[in-house]
Amino acid sequence: MISDDEFIKDPEVPGPTKEEIRCIVMCKSNVLKGDVVVDIGCGTGGLTVEFARRAKEVYSVDKNPDALEVTQKNLKKQGLLIKTNLVEGDALEALDEIPDFNVLMVGGSSGELSSILKKGYKKLKSGGRIVVTSILLETRVEAVKALQELGLTPEVVEVSISRGRVMKRGTMMIAKNPVTIISATKPSKD
C-alpha cells in the first residue's frame, strides 16, 4: 500500500482515501490481475493508483478536471499511467462509453448513487464486485437500498481509524471520521 504522504495533492480535490481504508477497499473488491476496474469519483487517485498496481486496466472517472489532473500526476509518479484511462465527466454519461468491467468502485456520486449502481451493474461482468465508500449517512442508506433492489445482499462495514501521535510523554490516539464500505458481488452464471 502506498503511504498517504506519497500522494501529490491539490487543495481543491478530496482524497487520497486513507491508507487503512484503501487496504479494506482492495480486500473487498478482490481485484485480480486480469481485471478491468472502473473508479467513479477518482479524486486524488488514491484508489485508482492502488487498482492500477493490481489490475489489468483502470477507467478513472471524475467530473472535476482538477481531480483528473492530480490523478494523472499520481499515476505518473508511480509509473502506472499506461494502465489507466482518464475519463472526464459525470459518472452516468461516462458509464455509457466504458466497456464491461469486473470491479465497480464508487467513491463519489453527488446524489446519483442509485442510478450509477443500476447503470454500472448492467456492465459488470458476472462474478464482478461493487464497492461503495461513504462518509455521509444518506449515502450508506442509498447504497444498501440500491444493491438490494438489484437482488444483491450487500456487506456493510464501518471503519473508524485512529492514528497514534507519538510524543515524549506518551502516544495520543487521534480519530479520523468513520467511513462505511458497502460491497456486493454479482452472481456468476453457472
Check: CB of residue 19 under 8 Å from CB of residue 4: yes
Nearer to ligand SAH, 85 or 126 (CB): 85
Residue number closest to ligand SAH, CB atom: 108
The residues with which 184 forms a beta bridge, in sequence order, are 130
CA distance 75 to 52: 8
Nearer to ligand SAH, 12 or 190 (CB): 12
Min separation Cβ 4 and ligand SAH, Å: 10
Min separation Cβ 110 and ligand SAH, Å: 4
Q: Is 16 helix (H, G, I), strand (E, B) or coil?
A: coil
Q: Is 55 helix (H, G, I), strand (E, B) or coil?
A: coil
Check: CB of residue 12 under 8 Å from CB of residue 63: no
Check: CB of residue 110 under 8 Å from CB of residue 142: no
Q: Where does this chain bind ligand SAH (CB under 6 A)? A: 13-17, 40-47, 61-64, 67, 90-91, 107-110, 112
Nearer to ligand SAH, 71 or 167 (CB): 71
Nearer to ligand SAH, 107 or 128 (CB): 107
